[in-house]
Amino acid sequence: MQKDFLELIRRASCELPADVIRVIKQGRNAEANGSPSRSALDDVIENCDLASRTSRPICQDTGTNIWYVYHPRSVSQMALTRDILAATRKATRLAYLRPNAVDSITGKNSGDNTGPGAPVIHFHEWSRKSLVADLLLKGGGSENVSAQYSLPNGAIGAGRDLEGIRRCVVDAVFNAQGKGCGPGIIGVGVGGDRATSMIEAKEQLFRLVNDKNPDPVLAKLEKTLHAQCNELGIGPMGFGGLTTVMGVKIGARHRLPASFFVSIAYLCWAARRASVSIVGGVATYSQISQQALKYKLPAVAARKGR
Amino acid sequence: MIRIELPVSEKDVRKLKVGDEISLHGTIVTARDAAHKLMVEEWPKFVEPLLKNGAIYHCGPVMKKTGKSWKAVAAGPTTSIREEPYEAAVMDHYKVRFIIGKGGMGPKTLKACKDVGAVYLHAIGGAAPLLADTVVRTKAVHLLDELGVPEAFWEFEVDGFKGIVTMDSHGKSLHSALLRKSKKKRDAIIGI
């Protein structure tokens, strides 16, 4: 499966998903003619076209590589890990990935994107015969402006309710300013513990940017927050403008009575994700992850299917 | 679009204002986290001729080696604010005229822009192949083994590297202006 995983990495790094491009183009058209934010988005669009045509990374920060692998019972996780690591090393040699894994104590770059905790791999066994791998490359600039709140929070008057969650998200997007390479996609994880809360937030980033949450309460909050984050006026790259975020995606997990975390995972405009399904040795690539399929897909994506 | 040849004089840089769109021609040198820490701790001599009246680029590129030469495959800017503790001292010591990156920088760097005669040039974050294609030649690399590919000092000869001035030598910053404006909005939206 090494070969298929290598191709998955290439696609994730070099080809921005169609749903994201579409929203970036809408954002570009909305910004005023001659404004820096419009020109920034023009460059983004041209850059993505160039990256895709020349099989080069959309962004030089090829990010944390986050894998979700769904496999039948018969497939060994050890073997899958070996294949993912081998594909990662090869992708680095081919410059689809930048050497991006640094020993935090010595400062030494491993040179091949592997090492303790790199890449990040989540396994799920399932009853199907196919193997599916979903991959997200999440850049460091956007990771640095991601945030976690423990409610109640006095500074922004956020209590343990929907209104509290709303305040956290607006505050986090404000704090990020232009440093997360906006327009961003905002993944929100409510509940869980400190670790799983952020995992939930990051899993939200696998959703299609213009999908709909089947939970009407969360769908309404996502819509409200999308509009309110854009009212901040931070705009593309922090140049000022109408599109500060492309979407807000919210998921919730059960929590302890004592804890109430709201985690905000900021994803830069270079929302690089790709998926592959392998059945009987044949790989089929897609831009729709398993995570995305849990939500109401926009009409265009639903027609194309997996 | 204002065309700037590097190295550039202090006088010419002081003419630039927030909002100016710039196209750079000449040598720019990448330096990010480890390089900045090293500069303020050791003040390496080899950097002096590279940075005098020149440009620092906050960038950790994807590079490909063919034979003896290196090619920039993807080379967009990285977040600049991490260099805020170091940049003012670096600018003053080496007389740097352009700081190139993304996301903007803080009050110390803004003051250094005024004192030294420099500007902050905002490149488009993530536009990596587009900016890499303005690198016509990799002239040299310094401390590659010690710092690794993303953190090394890469000397890039660029032709038409694009950016917008967001901090100038007159004390103006697009970033602090936008911060103030968006803070008012935030307070209104949150209701505090």
A7 and A101 part of one domain: yes
Is A33 within the bounds of a domain? no
pLDDT above 50 (res A218): yes
Alpha carbon of B79: minimum distance to chain A alpha carbons (Å):
6
CB proximity under 8 Å: B 34-63 to A: 34, 59-63
A169 and A297 part of one domain: no
Question: Tell me, what CATH number does B95's domain have?
Answer: 3.20.130.10
Judge whether B57 and B100 are in contact, CB under 8 Å: yes
Residue A226: phi and psi, rounded to 5, are: -55, -50
Burial B55-67 (b: 16+ CB within 10 A, else e): bbbbbbbbbeeee
Confidence of residue A237 (pLDDT cuts 50, 70, 90): very high
Substitution target in B81, B100, B124 with the highest count of A β-carbons within 10 Å is B124
Q: How far is residue A12 CA from its own chain's centroid?
A: 11
ipTM: 0.92
Confidence of residue A303 (pLDDT cuts 50, 70, 90): low
- The length of chain B in residues reads 192
A131 and A199 part of one domain: no
The predicted pLDDT at position A305 comes to 47
Q: Is B36 designated active site?
A: yes
Closest CA to B181 of A43, A234, A29: A234
pLDDT above 50 (res A306): no
Confidence of residue A108 (pLDDT cuts 50, 70, 90): very high
Compute the distance between CA of residue A100 and CA of residue A201 in angstroms, rounded to an integer: 22
A195 and A245 part of one domain: yes
- For residue B87, what is the enclosing H or E element? helix B84-94
- Cross-chain residue pair B150–A109, CB shorter than 8 Å: yes
Alpha carbon of A263: minimum distance to chain B alpha carbons (Å):
17
In chain A, the number of structural domains is 2
Instruction: Out of A40, A62, A156, name the one closest to residue B124 (CB).
Output: A40
* Cis amide bond preceding A57, omega within 30: no
A262 and A276 part of one domain: no
B25, B36, B58, B175: the active-site residue: B36
Is A23 within the bounds of a domain? no
The predicted pLDDT at position A172 comes to 98
- Domain extent at residue A129: 2-14+57-139+272-304
Judge whether B147 and A63 are in contact, CB under 8 Å: no
Find the angle CA(A206)-CA(A209)-CA(A213) to the nearest 5 degrees.
Answer: 80
Is A108 within the bounds of a domain? yes
Interface residue B162 vs chain A (CB under 8 A): yes
Alpha carbon of A45: minimum distance to chain B alpha carbons (Å):
9
Residue of B nearest to A224 (CA): B189
Rounded average pLDDT over A194-217: 98
Closest CA to B54 of B118, B21, B109, B6: B6
Q: Using an 8 Å CB-CB cutoff, list chain A residues near B63.
A: 95
A61 and A172 part of one domain: no
A208 and A294 part of one domain: no
Is A126 within the bounds of a domain? yes
Interface residue B181 vs chain A (CB under 8 A): yes
Confidence of residue A298 (pLDDT cuts 50, 70, 90): confident
Judge whether B105 and B120 are in contact, CB under 8 Å: yes
Local confidence pLDDT in tens for the 192 residues of chain B:
999 999 999 999 999 999 999 999 999 999 999 999 999 999 999 999 999 999 999 999 999 998 999 999 999 999 999 999 999 999 999 999 999 999 999 999 999 999 999 999 999 999 999 999 999 999 999 999 999 999 999 999 999 999 999 999 999 999 999 999 999 999 999 998
- Cross-chain residue pair A179–B103, CB shorter than 8 Å: yes
Q: Which residues contact A69 (CB under 8 A, 6 or more apart)?
A: A80, A84, A121, A122, A123, A124, A131, A132, A133, A134
Residue A152: phi and psi, rounded to 5, are: -75, 155
A243 and A96 part of one domain: no
Confidence of residue A299 (pLDDT cuts 50, 70, 90): confident
Alpha carbon of A125: minimum distance to chain B alpha carbons (Å):
35
CB proximity under 8 Å: A 38-57 to B: 39-40, 43-44, 46-47, 50-51, 54, 56-57
Interface residue A224 vs chain B (CB under 8 A): no
A159 and A110 part of one domain: no
- Cross-chain residue pair A44–B126, CB shorter than 8 Å: yes
Judge whether A306 and A208 are in contact, CB under 8 Å: no
Question: Tell me, what CATH number does A116's domain have?
Answer: 3.30.1330
The predicted pLDDT at position B192 comes to 80
- Cross-chain residue pair A56–B73, CB shorter than 8 Å: yes
Confidence of residue A209 (pLDDT cuts 50, 70, 90): very high
A131 and A278 part of one domain: yes
Instruction: Out of B64, B104, B190, name the one closest to residue A238 (CB).
Output: B104
A213 and A164 part of one domain: yes
- Domain extent at residue B163: 2-190
Interface residue A159 vs chain B (CB under 8 A): no
Interface residue A144 vs chain B (CB under 8 A): yes
A113 and A159 part of one domain: no
Q: Which residues contact A209 (CB under 8 A, 6 or more apart)?
A: A19, A20, A23, A185, A246, A247, A271
Q: Using an 8 Å CB-CB cutoff, list chain A residues near B130.
A: 43, 46-47, 50
In chain B, the number of structural domains is 1
pLDDT, tens only, A253-280: 999 999 999 999 999 999 999 999 999 9
Residue of B nearest to A163 (CA): B190
Judge whether A137 and A62 are in contact, CB under 8 Å: yes
